[in-house]
Amino acid sequence: MSAFIRGFRAACLFLTRIPVAGGPYSDEEWRWSSGWFPAVGALLGLSMALVFEVLLPLGPLFASVMAVSATMLLTGGFHEDGLADTADAMGGSFDRERLFVILKDSRLGAFGGMALFAVLLGKIALLCRVEAVFAVFIVAQSLSRMFPIWLMVRLPYVTSDEASKSRRVTRAGVPQGILATIVPFAISLVCYLNGSVALVPLVAAWLTGCVLMLVCAWRFMVRTGGITGDFLGATQQITEIGILAAFVWP
């Protein structure tokens, strides 16, 4: 089986708590795994939508809370942890060295707690207003996982731990970036063609994600000169809430 195909299994292992056999994975397979992140995101979005629809009779608020909780259960709060660590590091430091010290600290600080509260509450509030549940959930989860891949492609990885799994995954190149773009684009096209979502909010979602990605990239370069695994998780969370906002904007 080629590294291209096995990369999908590696992506499932890296992003979720779902037990996926087939390891160990080579450096090339880990490299290809990043290109499959949006595909794994689509599966997570489908899981969210199923939970939401099943629990909707209990009210959209409860259904939204449980849908978000289900995703965090499946991923182990992987991206949320990156958001919290990034917020703590960015908010609690004035120099590059101190920033990396805070990033490695597993404790949750005030900035991380505030960021988690704001983003999770914001996502739940937006999910309550989503109409095309399956289409929007799947597109949002898939598309938001595309943007960190392009940060991997374009920006240097600045974490010093050579042995980290994240370093092997983040060595993505243009081929992985193209694969990561094809998946959400194909999903978006199908959702548009079958009438699940309108063209304007769909285009707005893509544009919003692009703008937020560029803002994140600018801040990461200014503060550290590159990216870390935590920064990538924060980018996914920030672009996800922006994409959802674009879909529910009146």
The pTM of this model reads: 0.93
Cβ neighbours for 95, distance < 8 A, ≥ 6 positions apart = none
Q: Look at residue 1 in the predicted model and tell me its pLDDT.
A: 58
Q: Look at residue 92 in the predicted model and tell me its pLDDT.
A: 87
As given in the structure block, the two tokens for residue 155 are 């920006």
**Residues 2-18: what's their mean pLDDT?**
90
pLDDT tens digits for range 18-71: 887 777 888 889 899 999 999 999 999 999 999 999 999 999 999 999 999 999
Q: Among 148, 114, 135, 112, which residue's Cα sits nearest to residue 244?
A: 135
Query: What's at 244, amino acid-wise?
Result: L
Q: Look at residue 191 in the predicted model and tell me its pLDDT.
A: 96
DSSP string, the chain: --HHHHHHHHHHHHH--S---S----HHHHHHHGGGHHHHHHHHHHHHHHHHHHHGGG-HHHHHHHHHHHHHHHHTSHHHHHHHHHHHHHHS-SSHHHHHHHHT--S--HHHHHHHHHHHHHHHHHHTT-SSHHHHHHHHHHHTTTHHHHHHHHS-B----TT-HHHHHT---HHHHHHHHHHHHHHHHHHHHTTSS-HHHHHHHHHHHHHHHHHHHHHHHHHTSSB-HHHHHHHHHHHHHHHHHHHH--
Examine the pLDDT at 93 and tell me if it is beyond 70: yes
Query: What's the distance, CA 245 to chain centroid?
Result: 15
Of the two residues 161 and 216, the one the predictor is more confident about is: 216
Examine the pLDDT at 91 and tell me if it is beyond 80: yes
As given in the structure block, the two tokens for residue 85 are 């660590």
For the chain, the average pLDDT equals 92
- Is the dihedral angle over the CA atoms 238, 241, 247, 250 positive or is it negative? negative
Percent of the chain with pLDDT over 70: 97
Q: Look at residue 25 in the predicted model and tell me its pLDDT.
A: 86
Bridge partners (DSSP) of residue 227 are: 157
Q: Look at residue 165 in the predicted model and tell me its pLDDT.
A: 54
Alpha-carbon torsion, ordered 198, 201, 202, 205, to 10 deg: -170
Examine the pLDDT at 228 and tell me if it is beyond 60: yes
Q: Look at residue 99 in the predicted model and tell me its pLDDT.
A: 92
Q: Look at residue 125 in the predicted model and tell me its pLDDT.
A: 96
Task: Provide the phi-psi class of 24: left if phi over 0, else alpha when psi is between -120 and 50, else beta.
Answer: beta
Examine the pLDDT at 232 and tell me if it is beyond 70: yes
Lowest mean pLDDT among 88-102, 121-135, 236-250: 88-102
Q: Look at residue 105 in the predicted model and tell me its pLDDT.
A: 85
Q: Look at residue 162 in the predicted model and tell me its pLDDT.
A: 59
pLDDT tens digits for range 180-209: 999 999 999 999 999 999 999 999 999 999
Confidence grade of residue 94 (pLDDT, cut at 50, 70, 90): confident
